[in-house]
Each structure stands twice: as structure tokens, then as C-alpha cells.
Amino acid sequence: MDYKFDISLPNSSDFRCEIAIGGEQTFQQFHDKLVETLGYDSAQMASFFTLDRLGNRVKEIALMDMAGEDDENDTLVMDSTEISDVVKPGCLELEYVFDFFANRYFKIEYAGEYIRDSSDIMPVCVSCTGTIPEQFSYNADKEEWEFEDPAEEYDASDYDDSFMQEFGNNDYDDEGEPGYDDEGGEERYESLDDYIDRL
């Protein structure tokens, strides 16, 4: 059986694409067709996710298995997972995350059986309309991505003697407080008894 999928952005009608793929083909082939159709960099990470009835992500279908030998991991891998293994009556909607940094993804919805033409080489892009979103949202010119240097905000005039008295050295001279002489230098005591006498 061949499947047809509607691909769109969440909460937007600016972009829509239809791709048909055979049930025996893999998610790797689906991913490769998406990347080819959208003109994305195929070297970047991406994953499909199955969803539960509330729209929460349940199982990841990743480009590669990132788990170590001792890790328990139920993540599926694209090149060994067939479309028909996942897309069933209880799982007709997926998400395809193409920008992990900003959690940007496409909604992928099963749109029925596809009747292939004899000339079709599956998977096939049936249609693609609207503006294809950029693969990455990062833009160095955006102010929100820039971090201010705290040193630029420092102004020595903001910190007066009252600040030092409250937060500075506990021995700060305050009208002859013990520990410092009248010229701001550290007072010297002949003995412990001398120090106690001056308190």
C-alpha cells in the first residue's frame, strides 16, 4: 500500500506539501525526500515523532541511534523503520522536527491511500505550495540573540561609601570603628588585652 501525507506548519497555512511513499519504504527515504523537496541541508539532524491522542510526543524515529551500549533506549532509527511499522489506524499523525534548537517542526498527517502512476518513482512529491520555511531560525542580526556585556553597564559612581559600609569589608572605618586608624590604615595593637581595652 502507498501512503499520502499532508505536510504543513503548525498553526499556519503559509506552506503545504504532499508527499506519497510506499508502506514498505523507510522513514529514511521519507526524510531524504523531504530534504530534497525543501532544499534543506541533509547533514543536519532531524527526527520524526509519533503522537498520542493529546498531541504529546511518544516515540522518536531518529536519523541515527545515539544511545550507548548500556543505555536503555526505545528510539527507532529511520533507515530500519518502515512507514507501515508506525503509521496505523491509531497513529495517523506525526511531527517532523527539522530545527531542534528552536523546536521547529512540520505536522505530518496521513491523507489516505495514494494510487501511483506507472511513471512514479516512490517516494514522490505530489505538490508543494507556499513559502518554504528556512531550515534554521537563527539570525545573528536579531537583537534577542545578542547578549549584553555586564561590564558595559557598570558605573563606579553607583557605588558610594554607604554601599561599602553595608556590603564591604566588615572592618570598614565608620567614625573610629575598631580596626582602622583615622587615616584609613589598619590600626596596630600591642596585645590582645590592648585590643579589648579599645573596644
Which 3 state secondary structure label does DSSP give 135?
coil
Q: What is the pLDDT of residue 189?
A: 62
Q: How far apart are CA 85 and CA 72, in angstroms?
A: 21
CATH 3.10.290.30 location in the chain: 2-139
Give bridge partners of residue 128 from the DSSP assignment.
Answer: 17
Contact predicate 82/26, CB 8 Å: yes
Over 70: is that where the pLDDT of 120 sits? Answer: yes
Which 3 state secondary structure label does DSSP give 118?
coil
Q: What is the pLDDT of residue 46?
A: 96
- What is the reported pTM? 0.67
Name every residue whose Cβ is closer than 8 Å to that of residue 48 and which is 6 or more positions away in sequence: 27, 30, 31, 60, 61, 78, 86, 94, 95, 96, 97, 108
Q: Which CATH superfamily is domain 2-139 in?
A: MM3350-like (3.10.290.30)
pLDDT tens digits, residue range 160-171? 555 455 555 555
Q: Report which of residues 149 and 78 the model is more confident about.
A: 78
pLDDT tens digits, residue range 182-191? 555 556 666 6
Residue 13, C-alpha cell as written in the block: 497555512
